[in-house]
Each structure stands twice: as C-alpha cells, then as structure tokens.
Chains A and B, each alone.
Chain A
Amino acid sequence: MPTELVVPEAGTRELSYAEAIREGLAQAMQADERVFLFGEDVGVYGGAFGVSGDLFHKFGPERVIDTPISELGIAGAAVGAAITGMKPVLELQFSDFVTLAMEQIVNQAAKIHFMFGGKATVPMVVRLPGGSGTGAAAQHSQSLEAWFAHVPGLKVVQPSTPHDAKGLLLAAIDDPNPVLIFEHKLLYKTRGPVPEDAYRVPIGKAAVRRPGRDLTIVGSSIMAIRAAAAAARLATEDIDAEVIDLRSLRPIDLSTIAASVRKTHRLLIVYEGVKIMGIGAEISAMIAESDAFDFLDAPIARLGGADVPLPYNPVLEKAAVPQEDDIVAAARRLVREGRA
C-alpha cells in the first residue's frame, strides 16, 4: 500500500517501516556522538518490534542502552541526559506504558525550556509503538497521541510510510525540544521507497497524498493509509476524495487542511484514538473557526475509535476502530447525502 504514496527519489530502495527507522537511527548516531538509544530490550534483543535490530552490535552498549523495566526511570534519565547536552532517543515498548512516564514528559521535558528561559533545553525523542490490530488487548493497543498534542512544549508526529518514518525521526533528533513519535505496530512490516541519504521530513507539514475535488479526508499514521485505499475505491463510484496525511499532530498543518476544505467543501477526519474529546474534535473546531468555515457545504464528519477499552476479541477489536470500509461509507454518506 504505501509504495503508491511516495514518489521515489534518487538513491531509493524499498525498506520496511522498521528498517527505515533503524537506518535513520544509525545515520543520526554516526553523525552525532551525543545521540544514544535508551529503552527496555532495545539492545541485545533488538527491540520489542525489532526496530533497533543490530544497532547494539554496531554501536556498543554505551550508545544502545538496555534499561530496567521502569518507564518513569527511562524518561527521567533521558530528560537529565538531554539537559546536560546529550540527545537521547528512547523507546517505550508499547505506547500505552507512557502513562508511567507522564510526569517526566509532561511536567519536566515539556516545561524546562520555558521555565529556564531557554537556558536549558530537552532535545529528547520518544518513540512510542501504538495502535490496535495485533490482538494485544486494552492495555497494549491504545492511541494516546492526542494527550500529548494537548501539552504546550511537546511536538507529536505520526508517520504513515517508511519514507516519513525515517525523515521525521531525523527531524525529531535535530529538534532542540522534546518530540514524541507515535509509530504504528501494524506498519512496521509495510514497505516503501526510502532514500539512502539522511534526509529530513519537516515537522508540522502535512502531505496531500491524493488530490481530489469532492471531499477532504484527513488522517495520520495507518488512517492515512486506509484513507488512501478508501479514496481509490471511492474513485470508482465518481467520488473524488482528497487525502491529507497529517504526519504531524503538533504543530498541526491547519493551512493545508483549510486550503483543501475551501476546494472540496466537505471534511472527513479519521483517527484511531477514541473519537470523543480527540484529535478530530480539535481539527473540526479549527476548521469551523477558520475562514474555511464559509466553504463547508456539509457538516464536518469524524470517524474515530469506539468509546470503549479496546477488546481482545479480534472481530470486536476491528470493529472498534475505523476500517477502510467505514471510511468509504462515511465519505459516500457525506458527499451523496450531506450527512456526517
């Protein structure tokens, strides 16, 4: 699927999402000795999802550090290392465990730059495998990115392709402030073209994956992939959907969404997190407050996760988050009937 979404550049090969991240980590570590990896089983074992792979053997135990099972400890040590001039890249095995690291990320990492008048910064990157679809049940399947997008001082990105996974990682490592990367567990094995060089994908810039005239579908991570697949199906029934892959939730690229809405007059927001009080509410409100409001010819529609802890049962798990069929149906309803 993602192979259709990115225009190959010179020197590109096809890599998986996990391999692209690993290549980005290796290039950053090679270029800057302050960069180090930090997390549970990131070393010898190669990471819970195999992302760090052989980096332990390439860079050694001082730069690829296995930690005890304490997310609060990992995050706290990373904040301290970052303040003293290091550039930690930490991995939380499942993004759900970020609840334990909340104090260090929200109360420390996000605030230090401001509270010390810029004299201290926290150039820290947190990698968080998130999302459902692996049968990992309610405590290992959540999409909690909206929590962090709510906090001033944090940046939040959500790559959907191998290309963006590497490019956003390198941009995040460059960034002098904390960046959270929500990777999707179902995307690690998806493949796509990735340039060899250490390119950056700018944080805060969305990508229009497919231009269209009849409605705008906004999503990020796996929802951008599902939206693109849904758009291809909608095209066969004369519905021309524009697909925007947000890539970054914070800062959010409102102008790209608003420009699209001014053109298509209809907006469907798709996200895996729980629908209510989520990222879709914020995008919806931003568009309603913007000058794109006057160009809406139908209510803004949201497709989001069901208001339940994610079920273990695979049928129920699938039913609890937007699937390609749901996006097709919602787009059709919005365009044909004017209903959210």
Chain B
Amino acid sequence: MPIEVILPKVDMDMDDGIITEWKVAPGDRVRQGQILFDIETNKSVMEVESPGTGVIRDLAPITGEPIAVGTVVGWIDADAEVGASSPAAAERAKTPSSSATKEDAVGHAATSATPAASVEAATVSPSDSIRATPLARRAARMLDVNLAGVTGSGPAGRIVEKDVAAHAGRAPKSAVAGADRLVPFNPVRRIVAQRLAESARSAPHFFVSAQIDMGALQAALRHPGAPQSAERPSITVALAYLAGRVLALHPLLNASIEGDAVRLHARVNIGVAIDDQGDLFVPVLRDVPAHTLDDLAREFARLRAAVRAREIVPDDMRGGTFTISNLGMYGVDAFTAIINPPESAILAIGRTADTPVGRDGQVVLRPMATFTLSSDHRIVDGVTAARFVADLREAIEHPEGLS
C-alpha cells in the first residue's frame, strides 16, 4: 500500500499550515524520518519527517495558501509500487491557483505518468523552477522569505519584489507611487491579530502605573561584581529576573483563567516581547526564579538569535505565565499593553529618562522609568495590582541580589 504523507498537527492551536518548501522532489527515494518539507505555522517554521521509506510522488504544489491539518500532500510508494499513481493526488496537484504552480503541477503529473523519466525529473527540485526577478530574490534573502511560498504577480507568474514584500508584510522598495496596496497577513501577523483581539474583547483590562528609579539597577548591572558572561544582561533581562522573583510572591498575577476557575501556576515563565522586522514574537524564559541572571541572559540571547534566524520553535513560545514588553529603547515614555491570553497581566516598560524628583526636600535628577501593569480584572483587583507594583519598585530600586 502507498503511504500517505499528511500535513501533520505540530502545534496545539494549529488548524492549518503553509508548505513553504519541499526538501524532496517527485521520484526521490526517501527514508522513514528523513525531512520531507517545511511548514509555516503559528509563529514558526517546522520540518516534517517522512512517515515511511520508498519513492515519493504526487507532492502538493506550493501555493502559499494554508492547507488544513490532515490533508494528504503526497504519497510514498514501496519499491514494487513505483509508478502506480494516485488519481486523487494527481487531480489535486492539477488545481493550483497561480500560473507558476501550474508549471510545477504539470511537471509532477508528467513524472507520475512516465516512471522511466522520474529519476531525471527528480534532479530538478521545485525551487529550481521558481521564476523571480533578481530584486525579488535579493528581498527574499534579506527578509528570509522562502520564494516557494510566494505567488508571483509578474508576467508568467514571475515573482517581483512587491510580491515578496507583501508576503513578508513590508512596503515594497519598488512600489510605484499612488496606488493603495492590500497586503495579506502572514502567519505570524494572523495569530497575533487573532489572539490580541480575543484578549481585548474578553479580558476587562485595567492599568496601574508607577515611576520607578532605575539608578540602582543600572549601577548594579555596571558593577564589576555583576555577571560578566559573554551575554551581558540587558535591562530587559534584569527586569524579567526581578519580576520573576516578585511574581513568585503574587500568585494572582502569575495565573490564567480557565472557565470559572483561576489556574495559579507553580512556575513563573516570563514571555518577553521581541520585534523582528515587523513581526511580534514572545519567547518565554522558563522558571525564572530558579535561575541566575547569568543563566537568563544566556537563554534570552539564544531565544533572540532564534527569532532573528526565524528558527524559533513553538515550544520556545509556549507556556508563558506573564509577559513583559519594553519599548524604552524606542524613546517611549509610557504605554499600555494588551494582555497575552490566557495570562492575567502584562508589564509595559517605558524609557529611562533623567527626571526631576523630590528627594529629602530637594529636587534632584534621577533616572526614572514608567512601568504600567495591565491586569485582567476578572482575576486581579486594583489592590492586588498595586501591591505587585510596590514590590516590583522595591526590587528594582534595591537590587541587592544582583551585585
């Protein structure tokens, strides 16, 4: 019996995925466990392994469109069965949307029909036949976009730069002035939109702000006794470290809603919002109170590098119990954030600026930053939030544990 290759469910809240690249071509011999293709889903790209050993055929075309979980996207024949074509898969392969994939589909159908030629055909991988301008290829390299998933709008389905930019959610460099553009959401933007709209609709947000003196923390991080690893801890990591210790004392802020109950998490896992080329990622620092600042700095550096390389996996972004978002580096004084569901709170951090404050009857300049906690009022009351912020202030203004 031929073995079905299906689009697997690789993430809990995944309904569909986009095949971005086939690593094999029709007619290739594949082993069980060999990587067959990449799917883009839920904030990450995952590799999918072969379910069996044999010769692969009837690969679904790469259209850039989401394919439902469980859909058959190819077949593997054991050696004796090579050449037996599946009419259903061949039919599917003939109904792509763009003309670029039509060429691919015809190629695949021809391979299925003439098994003798399949070895030769297999040496031409689908990516070799992508039609794209040099600028589009360059943009794809810069934005880390796989051209196999981009639909071309040029002559004969040629991919031009604006197609790549649209795929990546960027304004094209080559845009001709004057025309509006409709840019479809990429998968990351789709999930962000869906989750945050849900949070804004269902969680009654309220906000508590405080100006906190950052002088002692800055001094502690500069102190020679401070961790001297290659990855020097940033203010953001230090704040995650301190927030983790404070959260351990405030279980309602390290909680999530489940129907009519609140789940108080045993561990403090802090998500840190990161922007990469316009896409929002929230990788999670796990079990923060159990780790040193040095450990966290190293782990954060790893996560940030994974985001930039677009190699971050869903596991790295799952299981957060609290989130911090720091826009201080962009010169923002203060802002409010939308809670990352199903968590109960998120901490928004503004820039540190020398600010006149009263100290011992004198006006002095101190490096102050505004922290704004957004809380879900279904779980957290005003006083609960205020106590957390007060303890956080104490931890930041007296960071003795750091030095």
Contacts and interface: CB of A to CB of B under 8 A. Distances in A.
A265 B135 contact: yes
Contact of B160 (A239, A240, A295, A298): A298
Size bracket of the B interface: 10 to 19
A38 B134 CA distance: 51
Nearest to B158: A338
B261 to A, nearest CB: 56
A297 B159 CA distance: 9
Given A337-B155, A338-B158, A338-B160, A296 B177 contact: no
A265 B160 CA distance: 10
Contacts of A337: 154-155
Contacts of A240: 176-177
Interface string A311-340: 000000000000000000000000111110
B178 interface: yes
B268 interface: no
Nearest to A238: B178
A296 B160 contact: no
Contacts of B179: 238
A89 B83 CA distance: 78
Interface in B162-217: 173-174, 176-179
Contacts of B176: 214, 238-240, 335-336
B138 interface: yes
Contacts of B59: none
A298 B177 contact: no
Contacts of A97: none
A213 interface: yes
Contact of B135 (A214, A239, A296, A339): A296
Contacts of B154: 298, 337-338
A223 to B, nearest CB: 24
A294 B137 contact: yes
A298 B178 contact: no
A296 B155 contact: no
Contacts of A298: 133, 154, 160
Given A293-B134, A296-B134, A265 B155 contact: no
Contacts of B135: 265, 294-297
B46 interface: no
Interface of B is mostly: loop
Nearest to A336: B176
Nearest to A335: B176
B272 interface: no
B392 interface: no
Interface residues of A, number: 18
Interface in A277-305: 293-298
B136 interface: yes
Nearest to B136: A297
Contacts of A336: 176
Contact of A339 (B155, B173, B177, B178): B155
Contacts of B137: 294
B60 to A, nearest CB: 28
Given A265-B161, A338-B158, A294 B134 contact: yes
B177 A265 contact: no
A336 B154 CA distance: 9
Nearest to A340: B155
B160 A297 contact: yes
B138 A294 contact: yes
B155 A338 contact: yes
Interface string B129-159: 0000111111000000000000000110010
A335 to B, nearest CB: 6
A339 B174 CA distance: 15
A238 B138 CA distance: 26
Interface-centre pick from A293, A295, A339 (highest chain B CB count, 10 A): A295
Interface in A206-265: 213-214, 238-240, 265
Given A265-B161, A337-B155, A297 B177 contact: no
Nearest to B177: A238
A294 B173 CA distance: 13
B216 to A, nearest CB: 50
A297 B178 contact: no
Contacts of B134: 293-297
A297 B155 contact: no
B158 A265 contact: no
A293 B135 CA distance: 8
Contacts of A338: 133, 154-155, 158, 160
Interface of A: 213-214, 238-240, 265-266, 293-298, 335-339
Top 8 A-B pairs ranked by shortest CB distance? A297-B135, A238-B178, A338-B154, A294-B138, A265-B174, A297-B161, A297-B174, A296-B134
Interface of B: 133-138, 154-155, 158, 160-161, 173-174, 176-179
30 contacts: A238-B176, A238-B178, A238-B179, A239-B176, A240-B177, A265-B161, A265-B173, A265-B174, A293-B134, A294-B134, A294-B135, A294-B138, A295-B134, A295-B135, A296-B135, A297-B133, A297-B134, A297-B135, A297-B161, A298-B133, A298-B154, A298-B160, A335-B176, A336-B176, A337-B155, A338-B154, A338-B155, A338-B158, A338-B160, A339-B155
